[in-house]
Structure 1
């Protein structure tokens, strides 16, 4: 993973790496990744849960009790459940989204995959998705998994983030470049 000067990303990277190493040693990478993805969806989709995770106002006891109740109700593997409880006990829930992202990256690298984040103005159809995965796979020389986002503000084209490289072919960027060029021509 790339190093960052942000203390949150540093905490997230260390926790993600520790969890990944434990999951690898126990042969549970896929299980843990799947369970973490469920928690990521809950954070994304449930505003109350997101506030709970992000808020520094809850004590360690409150965080541990709440996470323990969630773990008891959702029945993840012992490794994932214990990890979440340790994160709560150490008052690091605010970094949980970054930990999940970090674990995903480590798991993908372990499988020989690279993740590409693709933003388009409209949802991609199956044929476009297939062609994109094929093209990005040839570029990266690895198996590519695509995470899609839709942002109508880009107007058309794609913005692709793969590793540390960004390829922006959006109409919005092209229009902004044209606008800048026309200003310079005056």
Structure 2
């Protein structure tokens, strides 16, 4: 995988790689990954937690105390809890979403999976999900883990991201293309 030139993504990669190797050594990938997913959801759903993670206004001590309190309350695996405390103590909480994303990629790669982001106008039913998963597995040559997102603004169709490739069959994109073509004619 190509290394990014961004210092932030480099930090996220190093922390995620270290956590992944430790989780692999301790045979706790199956525990650490869902716990990180929970923290990722917390970042997305809680404005207060997101502010703690993203804001440079909080000191390292304040961030560490907050993370220690959350860890004490949620009681994650010691590896996950210690990782979060180290990240806070080193003032790297702002990179936590990137660390979690990279950890997921490493874990999926280890399992021989590829992660796919699927955006649809409406929630997929089980039959659609199964058919899409099968088609994407065939396309990628690996089993896929789909992360689904609903965005009514695409009107219909799908937007699928596999690694650096994006396949956009959304109605919104088709209408925009038609609009451009009509402008050129008229």
How does the TM-score come out when normalised to structure 2? 0.96
SS in structure 2 opposite 1:124? coil
Question: What is the match of residue 117 of structure 2?
Answer: 117
- Alignment root-mean-square deviation, CA: 1.1
Q: CA deviation at 1:34?
A: 1.2
Distance 2:120 2:6 in 1: 29
Distance 1:67 1:10 in 2: 23
Question: What is the match of residue 184 of structure 1?
Answer: 184
Question: What is the match of residue 39 of structure 1?
Answer: 39
Q: Deviation string for 1:29-56 (max 9, x for gaps)?
A: 1111011111111111111111111111
In the alignment of these two chains, the number of paired residues is: 186
Distance 1:74 1:2 in 2: 36
Q: Which 10-residue stretch deviates more, 58-67 or 2-11?
A: 2-11
Q: CA deviation at 1:16?
A: 0.6
Distance 1:44 1:3 in 2: 26
Distance 1:127 1:149 in 2: 17
Which residues of 2 match residues 63-74 of structure 1 at below 5 A?
63-74=63-74
Q: CA deviation at 1:10?
A: 1.7
Q: Deviation string for 1:87-138 (max 9, x for gaps)?
A: 0000000010110011001000000011110000111111100100000000
Unpaired runs of 5+ residues, structure 2, are none
